[in-house]
Structure 1
Amino acid sequence: MHTAIQLWTLRDHSGPQAETFERIAAAGYDGVEFAGLSDPVETARKLEAAGLLAAGAHVDAEAIRADPAGVTDDLATLGVPYVVVPYLDDDHFADAAAVAETATMLDDLSGAVEKPLLYHNHTHEFVPIGTETAFDRLIEETTVGIELDIGWAQAAGRDPVALLETLSGRAPVVHLKDVTADGEPTGLGEGVVDLQAVVDAARAAGTEWLVFEHDDPAAPIEAMAAAADVLSTLAVE
């Protein structure tokens, strides 16, 4: 498996992009996952110069719907293998009918871009619907892949290892995130997630990319470097 960092983690870091990419590569990551698409030609040049790959890109559903051809072109320029819908609000998971509509919408978006489409979870997808959760119904009713966010799944009270077993073959990209016992984001290796068990389960599920993300780091660059150190202790390959 390859390792990457979701660039949302570094959104408050103000350094030049080329320098940031060089620091990510020096820390030992194989690539980055984009939080949106911006200046793809220049970004692709800097990515290549740093020796990094693109793991994927988060692109809002509305942006895909508004200009699927443009999004497809930008993904191709950046060499992005997967496009990820990063968030849909609570209304999309309010009840069984809403989940069915959401599943259809994601399938439609998948057909509009020339890259495999994934959906990235938070905690609100795990709201109960009958004897299941909205997340369970979603993965039953849509054909798109899932970028399972380990930390948010843990915070929602689910076993991420069991979820990865359920998603075997459908989770090519996994967000390796740690959370506290209260479900708050924390540094990798500082929370309650059994990281090695997750890595082992991801490998068994066919995951290609493990993407580190910290939603609220006090010091983004330091968090990135510390997470790389933790990743180096795990049996990722």
Structure 2
Amino acid sequence: MTMEIGLNLFSVFRELNEDYFGTLEKVAQIGYKNIELISANFSTGERFSDTFSLPVIKQKFDELGLKAFAAHEGVAPGKALLDADWDKIIQENATLGCQSIVFPMAFISGREDTLQTAEHLNQIGKKCKEAGMNFYYHNHAHEFKRIGETSLFELLVENTDPANVKFELDLVWVMRGGYDPLELLEKLGNRCDMIHQKDLGKHVNPVSIFTASSQEESNDLMKIYTEYVKPNDFVNLGTGIVNFQETYQILNELGYIRYAIVENEGQLGDKFTSISGDLTVMEKSVKGLIKN
């Protein structure tokens, strides 16, 4: 299977907020072909599909040669997973050509809410499958909080139906949760055929988000992310601690990763310059051209 490179549009969410179509044009000019959508303007909270009609958005994708292969679709903090209108979400994304819907973050902190979340993911995943779409859960770091001998993430994996729920592994967030992302990828097998690729600054302790002190406070998820994750933690690809040669040698050997997706959360400099450099690093990595 040939691994394709994608861009999660959260990388340029501020730019999308200001100029949706102009930002897509720049993404295409840089050389990205595959895009993972975000559904809403984060400054207004409105869905882009409420601002622009779906046929107009799809026409723009086609004009620019952009394939919207997946979309991140979540719920606001405090809302239940099933509160969203999933029938509408599925229909809208199918109209845009998306093959997959990804749930980006569940605010889980203990065993019971994790098991309930798993059941809700099963229901949404079944609905997606019936519509001919794949459904994924996307991790951050808090899912790797341990409950006894296991983690919340492992509970999600064990209690979701492999036929209906897959996983989009964010490799750097796995590191920040204290796990080895490549080992986890091998365990998941083809339940994880899409990954997110960030890079972490060399000044960052990759597991510092779950020190003993933060573990005690980890029921307050947003406090973890505001106190233990700093704006300059994430850097442009190839400038941090990720070993791209080793990582992509293993990913290529595994053979089941369909999409390696750039997600640049860094806040230094011009974002279009950043994601352009990221694409260069990814092209070399996927093709095995990076050498020590």
- With normalisation by structure 2, the TM-score equals 0.74
Alpha carbons 1:128, 1:134 under 8 Å: kept: yes
Aligned in 2, Cα 1:120/1:236: closer, same or farther, shift over 3 Å?
farther
User: Paired residue for 1:202?
Assistant: 251
Is contact 2:236-2:266 (8 Å) kept?
no
CA distance in 1, matches of 2:27, 2:259: 15
Over 3 Å counting, the alpha-carbon distance change for 1:216 and 1:71 in structure 2 is same
Which residues of structure 1 form unaligned runs of 5+?
A: none
- Structure 2: state its 5+ residue gaps: 40-46, 207-232
Alignment check: 8 A CA contact 1:151 1:185 kept: no
Distance, in Å, in 1 between the alignment partners of 2:250 and 2:138 is 18
C-alpha separation in 1, matches of 2:194 and 2:125: 16
Q: Within the alignment, does 1:159 sit opposite 2:208 as a pair?
A: no
User: Number of residue pairs matched?
Assistant: 234
State the distance in 2 between where 1:87 and 1:75 align.
19
Q: CA deviation at 1:63?
A: 7.5
CA apart distance, 1:48: 0.9
Equivalent position of 1:38 in the other structure:
48
Tell me whether 1:214 sits opposite 2:248 in the alignment: no
**CA deviation after TM superposition for structure 1 residue 99, in Å:** 2.1
* Contact kept in structure 1, 2:101 and 2:135, CA below 8 Å: yes
* Bigger mean CA offset, 31-40 vs 144-153: 31-40
Alignment partners' CA distance in 2, 1:134 and 1:171: 17
What letter matches 1:182 in structure 2?
A: N
CA shift digits 1:176-211 (9 cap, x unpaired): 111123342211111112223333333415111111
> How far apart are the structure 2 equivalents of 1:236 and 1:107?
35
Structure 1 Cα separation of the partners of residues 287 and 137 of structure 2: 23
Hey, which of these two has a bigger chunk of strand by percent?
A: 1
TM-score (norm. length: structure 1): 0.90
Q: Say if 2:96 is the partner of 1:78.
A: yes
Give, in angstroms, the shift of residue 66 of structure 1. Answer: 3.1
Higher Cα Rg: structure 1 or 2?
2
1:182 maps to which of 205, 211, 222: 205
2:274 match: 223
Q: After the TM superposition, which of the residue ranges 166-175 and 34-43 deviates more from structure 2? A: 34-43
Identical positions, percent: 26
Aligned runs of 1:76-155 on 2, under 5 Å?
Answer: 76-89=94-107, 92-95=108-111, 97-113=112-128, 114=131, 115-143=133-161, 144-155=165-176
Equivalent residue letter for 1:208: R
Change beyond 3 A, Cα 1:236–1:83: farther
CA distance in 1, matches of 2:267, 2:66: 23
